[in-house]
Amino acid sequence: MSLFSTLFTDTVTVASHERAVVYVDGAFTRVLEPGRHRVPARAVLVPTDARTRLDTIGTQEVLTADGVAVRVTAAVRWRVADPRAYVETSSDPFAEVYLAVQLALRDALVAVELDALVSDARRLAGAALLDAARAAGAGVGIAVEAAAVKDVVLPHELRMAFAERATARTRGQARLEAARAETAALRSLANGAKLLEDHPALARQRLVEALPPGATLELGL
């Protein structure tokens, strides 16, 4: 966060993506919106970036309910909502949100078993992360727009086990489909055999159609 002083001019311009917190003789006076403004020559302005930002919460190890340690990352989308609070409350405002999300992530996932975590981590932890991030951000002038689990990284052995399980599931489904197709074929053959048994004339006709060209068929009485 940079500082600049208006020692030689009483007119300043605030960019469209900024807000400027004004101090005169060390005391807060106002927050400047984008545009040109006249300020006392001894004023000091602290600019803040009003654009939305996206930050990743560093990877941390979380222990699941069934005792498996997984590595999880989260992401937070936020912006400065109260420039004065953002400037005055903390030397590192986003660090407050960062820590709150880390703690909420651990609390939200510690009661979740591995299978549920892998398949549905975003839904299971999303609301808790967002609530924690917003509560922490409100105190330092930050508005949190979104907070969610970004990645869940399993230990190598578990990744291999999950891959093998997925492969086995796929193979099982393929075998099931093959068995269903075979059953349908057998059922069709059985129906055909029953039809031929009930209709001898049809059976003879099928037999004639199956003979090679020029062959003759002798039917006994």
Last residue of a domain, one of 154, 175, 199: 154
Domain boundaries, position 113: 53-154
Report the distance separating Cα 28 and Cα 90, nearest Å: 16
Report the distance separating Cα 196 and Cα 18, nearest Å: 87
- Given a cut of 60, is residue 8 above it in pLDDT? no
CB 144 within 8 A of CB 137: yes
Do both 57 and 150 map to the same domain? yes
Do both 24 and 37 map to the same domain? yes
- Given a cut of 60, is residue 6 above it in pLDDT? no
Per-residue pLDDT of 121-132, as tens digits, reads 677 777 889 999
- The average pLDDT across 200-205 equals 62
Is 219 within the bounds of a domain?
Answer: no
Is 220 within the bounds of a domain?
Answer: no
The mean predicted confidence, pLDDT, of the chain is 79
Do both 65 and 141 map to the same domain? yes
Do both 58 and 140 map to the same domain? yes
Q: In the β-sheet with 43-49, what is the strand arrangement from edge to edge?
A: 4-5, 43-49, 18-24, 27-32
Per-residue pLDDT of 189-202, as tens digits, reads 667 667 666 667 65
Which pLDDT belongs to residue 41?
85
Beta-carbon contacts of residue 59 (< 8 Å; ≥ 6 apart): 71, 72, 73, 151, 153
The widest CA-to-CA distance across the chain, in whole angstroms, is 126
- The number of domains in the chain is 3
Per-residue pLDDT of 98-157, as tens digits, reads 999 999 988 888 777 777 766 676 777 778 899 999 999 999 999 999 998 888 777 656
Beta-carbon contacts of residue 148 (< 8 Å; ≥ 6 apart): 74, 75, 122, 125, 126, 129, 130
Rounded (10°) angle between helices 114-138 and 93-109: 150
End-to-end CA distance of the chain: 108
- Given a cut of 60, is residue 53 above it in pLDDT? yes
Angstrom distances, CA of residue 160 to CA of 68, 154, 192: 15, 9, 48
Q: Specify which residues 72 forms β-bridges with.
A: 60, 152
Per-residue pLDDT of 69-98, as tens digits, reads 788 889 999 999 999 999 999 999 999 999
Report the distance separating Cα 130 and Cα 77, nearest Å: 10
- Given a cut of 60, is residue 218 above it in pLDDT? no
